[in-house]
Structure 1
Amino acid sequence: MKLVPQPLGGSSLAKDYLAGAESANSFYRGSPYRAETYRQRAEELELARGRDGFATVESVIRPAGPDGAALLRRVVAEGGYFVTTGQQPGLFGGPLYSLYKALTAVRLAADLEGLLARPVMPIFWIASDDHDWEEANHTFVVDGANRLVRLSLGAAADRHPRPLWRPTLGTAIEEPLERLAGSFPPNDFHARYMTLLRDAYAPQATMASAFAGLMAELLADTPVGLVDAGDPQLKEACREVFRAEAEDSRASETVLDETAEALEDCGYAPQVQLMSGATNLFVDLRGGRERLYRKDGGFVLGRSRGEVSRRRVLDLIENEPRSVSPNVLLRPVVESALFHTLAYVGGPGELAYFAQLRGLFRRHGAGMPVVVPRGSLLVVETKVEKVLDKHGLAAGDVRDAEALLSRFARDRLPDDVRDAVRQWRGAIESRGGELAEAAAAVDPALRGAVIKTRNSGLGALGSLEKKIVRAVKRNADTTRAQIAKAQVNLWPGGKPQDRILSPLQYLMKYGPGFPASALRRIRIPPGRAWNGGGFATRGTDSVA
């Protein structure tokens, strides 16, 4: 098995930011590839820390293992820093990139500790306030027969959207657990992980608590700390930001609108579309989690259109803060206000929407962290590598399997068929042109009719050629099966592997060493590491 670092991709804004384009960098606090960017943020944090200390954050961080517990003590004792990342909880760990985010934070924190000579702790924020059950309730694996298997909990029991820390999994969890168990042949790791999953994803567990239990196990050998957005103590610590947002959400809307206009002036489309009158707060009431919109000095709920007074919202913040939550734009501000975040590790979408937030950070008195791209890896198993080598392919070649097979078929057409098609096409083109000229001498209006007939003939020949190619493809069953095997493992459903497959795909097959192997291959950016004032090339690690 090989773990191959991949470029992250993303919008033009994210790409320009990572490339160091000035048009993009002006919306961030500086390049994530320059040491001075982190030093400046650390100096800024020294002033903020004098006011707030560590008491609150220490109580809400759950170290994944003993290394995390020891590092947290050092951060508190020595005045260290936090690197954060996060993701909404998902079934069986969600997609691979959730794990890669955590590992990137581990890598970055270690690099920054060396740079700043202070302990730096990686934090994984479990976004359990999210209510998108349809996104969280499923994941995928590739079974022993190289079939993409969807594992799903089905629809939520509550018809109203609820934060993922609230609903329990129920007995419906048994079906995806059984499907997962049946997707892999028994080996030395099968029983271990099925036992772990049955303990974590028990009927009485929530999606958030189950995800936290699994991530703690996967990251137990790292110094990661886990934070649950639904933690009552954490929500109490969020009151100040929530209150400021409720009391003057128009000020937030103004700074967000100004930044969106500036982005558009630079040729960038804002990642998150803004809505007039919308606040950056959600409340979870009888009708489920709904966004608040301003109306007549109070608020109206976005979906049910029920009205909520300003006093009622402020009362919820004070006495029931767990029922209040930030939207996607306010969440990073809440996180930075609590943890005084040194750097945030994000995916391509997050890199883009952070460009909208500098004014919102300032409005709430929270400094903007350095925004760093998460690592992305492509897992190439030996069985897949053999297919690629046999056909002389790169991993990216098999993303569109049908296009690749069509190319193979055209290349493998019998010479006599290929020659006959080429000659026939040439004859239609040349003779059609000759006839058009001759007919035009009789009546100029005939030229168009001849050309139309010639083009119809070329189109019919093209259709015939495609039929012949399809026949060749059907006859190449072995090649088709091999390419399909490579595609489903590298590009399941034609999409990036780390956005689709669960980390259980490789844990069930290769065991608990997979996260450590992935950590060794994570680079920021791929293939580079700290060297003095920035990043420099580092030698290749051995592969798991």
Structure 2
Amino acid sequence: MFIEQYPLSSAQPLTEAYIHRTDERVESLFGYHSEQEQDWIRRMKRLEHTAASRADAVALAETLRAYNTRFGASPEMIASIGAIAEGAPVIVGGQQAGLWSGPIMVVHKAVSIIGAAKWASELLGRTVVPVFWIAGEDHDWDEANHTYVMSGNHELRKLGVQRPEGARTSVSRTTIDEETWRSLLAELDQALPHAEFKPAMMEQLTAAAERASTLSELFAAILTLLFGKEGLVLLDADEPSVRKLESPMFRRLIEHNDDLEQAYISTAERVKSFGYEPQADVVPASANLFVFQAAKGNERTLLHKLEGKFRDRKGTSVWTMDELLHLADHEPWQLSNNVLTRPLMQDYLLPVLGTVLGPGEIAYWSLTGEAFRRLDMEMPIVVPRMSFTLVEGTIAKHMAKYDLTFEDVRLRFEERKQRWLMEQDKHAIDERFAAVKQSFNDLYGPILALAASVQAGLAPLGETNHRKIVEQIEYLETKTKDAHNKQYEASTRQLDRIASSLWPAGKPQERVLNMTAYWNRYGFTWLERLLEAPFDRTGGHRIVYL
């Protein structure tokens, strides 16, 4: 295996400023920095002093053990949960569930969480547990319901599942029936090319689907298959047993809601004053909490505030503070966080040493520092997620053949492709047709002028005639080029395969392709390569040659 570092910018200016420490004002939004070893030690001491203010570790471990066992938890996962019961700190990162695990950046996040936990364990001389937070409370079905795979003919294919009939509730509360699972498995089997590890993979994915009644449960079962030996603990934010543990924190979020609102608004203004655009909507009068309305099929409803009460956007449903506090105390599973309150809830539920975040997440977490302080809490260490581009052996050979770098594929692929085709043109097609068109224009100009001098009305006719003749020359030019390029169809396919593998649909590989493409061909070897990559506290991008 060969790994090459590549400076891939995140396109998030605030995140880049945090990672590379180019703006002290941005650092002040966070408090700690992942690159500073001393900050990890300071954060650990803080966790030890504030243990009593968080959810009970033993009760949390019991909940995690019951949940993870449902998906065939490995001995290593059970050991990790045991460490949590004894007060071990955690590295946590999360993602909404996706079909067949969603885009491969989900795997990158899990690898980063595991790498950070191992590194921190060595630094601190104690067990640090990796935890994956499944954002099952999210109701964005269109984001969770699909994935992309590369078919046998190297075409990008979208696989998806329609939302079942019913209310717009969370992904973890949206049930998928057995017939739909069978259809999804058949679709995946048909889309992927036949390869060495396909039968075993399909068998394991079938078993995972049999354990699942929702996309979140399938997601958990797949992560268990991939990372069980690494001791990665899974937590679904929408599990009723988890919500029960969160009850006291929901009460605080409701009681201090106005104070938190002002904290988010003031921080957003501060971010703007630094010259950055806030990456999460900070809306005045937003409670930054959701309610699941049982009377409406558990529809997930964002709460807004007006005249001392909480209401839905249209004002058709209204709650008093006492009614919400009653839910917090007695039915906390009917409440849910948004992107700005989830960091607070996560820090209450878990002893978070560090949180692994992607570029966009880092940008919106910058809005939460003051909210943490208002509740006498402290933002954990923000750890940038590592990212990878996987390069298969055949792709690497083709890149060498056409003298292409990853930079070429990412920034100027079509230009390089056309240049290569032009270099194969021994007939100088472009130049010769250009010369013909120029000669025609030179010859036709005087004739057009002559006709117009005889009768002015002939000028438009002449112009039309001129345009038609040029169009015919260009038509023949196109056909000639097509005939020439057809001789290089195999090469064109190889070039296009490079782009579709490394930068599919004009986007980073990790944001499009699903991991089954690599599992299908390499078994778990590709994953082992990622887990072997050195952990980098500042994230960064690596090109991994398989």
Query: So what's the TM-score if we normalise by structure 2?
Result: 0.84
1:61 and 2:64 aligned:
yes
Aligned to 1:15: 16
Aligned to 1:218: 226
Q: Deviations over 1:60-86 (max 9, x none)?
A: 334642223223434544x43111001
Alignment-mate amino acid for residue 120 of structure 2: L
> Contact (CA 8 Å) 2:91, 2:113: kept in 1 or not?
yes
1:324 and 2:335 aligned:
yes
Aligned to 1:45: 47
Q: CA, structure 1 residues 265+424, in 2 after alignment: closer, same or farther (shift >3 Å)?
A: farther
> Contact (CA 8 Å) 2:172, 2:216: kept in 1 or not?
yes
> Contact (CA 8 Å) 1:264, 1:270: kept in 2 or not?
yes
Distance 2:539 2:28 in 1: 26
Secondary structure of 1:221 counterpart: helix
Distance 1:415 1:220 in 2: 60
Aligned to 1:28: 30
Q: CA, structure 1 residues 251+113, in 2 after alignment: closer, same or farther (shift >3 Å)?
A: same
> Contact (CA 8 Å) 1:61, 1:227: kept in 2 or not?
yes
> Contact (CA 8 Å) 1:85, 1:102: kept in 2 or not?
yes
Q: CA, structure 1 residues 155+54, in 2 after alignment: closer, same or farther (shift >3 Å)?
A: closer
1:374 and 2:375 aligned:
no
State the shift of 1:511 in Å: 1.0
> Contact (CA 8 Å) 2:116, 2:537: kept in 1 or not?
no
Give 2:266's match in structure 1, choosing from 237, 248, 258. 258
Aligned to 1:114: 122
Farther off after superposition, 312-321 or 271-280: 312-321
Q: CA, structure 1 residues 305+472, in 2 after alignment: closer, same or farther (shift >3 Å)?
A: farther
Q: How do 1:282-321 residues align onto structure 2 when only pairs under 5 Å count? A: 282-285=290-293, 286-287=295-296, 288-302=299-313, 305-321=316-332
State the shift of 1:251 in Å: 1.2
Alignment-mate amino acid for residue 43 of structure 2: R
Q: CA, structure 1 residues 305+520, in 2 after alignment: closer, same or farther (shift >3 Å)?
A: farther
State the shift of 1:225 in Å: 0.8
Farther off after superposition, 412-421 or 123-132: 412-421
Q: CA, structure 1 residues 74+465, in 2 after alignment: closer, same or farther (shift >3 Å)?
A: farther
Secondary structure of 1:388 counterpart: helix
Aligned to 2:207: 199
State the shift of 1:512 in Å: 2.7
Give 2:531's match in structure 1, choosing from 510, 514, 519. 519
**Identity, % of aligned positions:** 27
State the shift of 1:200 in Å: 2.1
Secondary structure of 1:349 counterpart: helix
Alignment-mate amino acid for residue 76 of structure 2: D
Distance 2:211 2:218 in 1: 10
Distance 2:209 2:477 in 1: 50
Distance 2:538 2:255 in 1: 44
Aligned to 2:181: 173
1:489 and 2:501 aligned:
yes
State the shift of 1:187 in Å: 4.6
Aligned to 1:404: 416
Q: CA, structure 1 residues 299+488, in 2 after alignment: closer, same or farther (shift >3 Å)?
A: same
Aligned to 1:477: 489
Aligned to 2:375: 364
State the shift of 1:10 in Å: 3.4
> Contact (CA 8 Å) 1:3, 1:518: kept in 2 or not?
no
Q: Deviations over 1:101-132 (max 9, x none)?
A: 11111111111111111211011001100111
Q: How do 1:219-234 residues align onto structure 2 when only pairs under 5 Å count? A: 219-234=227-242
State the shift of 1:136 in Å: 0.6
Aligned to 2:447: none
Farther off after superposition, 20-29 or 95-104: 20-29
Q: Deviations over 1:460-495 (max 9, x none)?
A: 9xx999958777555532222111111121122121
Gaps spanning 5+ residues in structure 2: where? 443-466
Gaps spanning 5+ residues in structure 1: where? 432-455, 529-539
Aligned to 2:449: none
> Contact (CA 8 Å) 2:147, 2:160: kept in 1 or not?
yes
Q: CA, structure 1 residues 368+483, in 2 after alignment: closer, same or farther (shift >3 Å)?
A: same
Distance 1:191 1:217 in 2: 15
Secondary structure of 1:201 counterpart: helix
Alignment-mate amino acid for residue 19 of structure 2: L
> Contact (CA 8 Å) 1:280, 1:326: kept in 2 or not?
yes
Q: CA, structure 1 residues 514+469, in 2 after alignment: closer, same or farther (shift >3 Å)?
A: same
> Contact (CA 8 Å) 1:4, 1:377: kept in 2 or not?
no
State the shift of 1:193 in Å: 2.0
> Contact (CA 8 Å) 2:83, 2:129: kept in 1 or not?
no
State the shift of 1:323 in Å: 1.4
Root-mean-square deviation (CA, aligned residues, Å) is: 3.2
Farther off after superposition, 359-368 or 408-417: 408-417
State the shift of 1:226 in Å: 0.7
Alignment size in residue pairs: 505
> Contact (CA 8 Å) 2:88, 2:351: kept in 1 or not?
no
Alignment-mate amino acid for residue 36 of structure 2: R
Aligned to 1:270: 278
> Contact (CA 8 Å) 2:304, 2:311: kept in 1 or not?
yes
Alignment-mate amino acid for residue 58 of structure 1: A
Distance 2:545 2:416 in 1: 28
Alignment-mate amino acid for residue 109 of structure 2: K
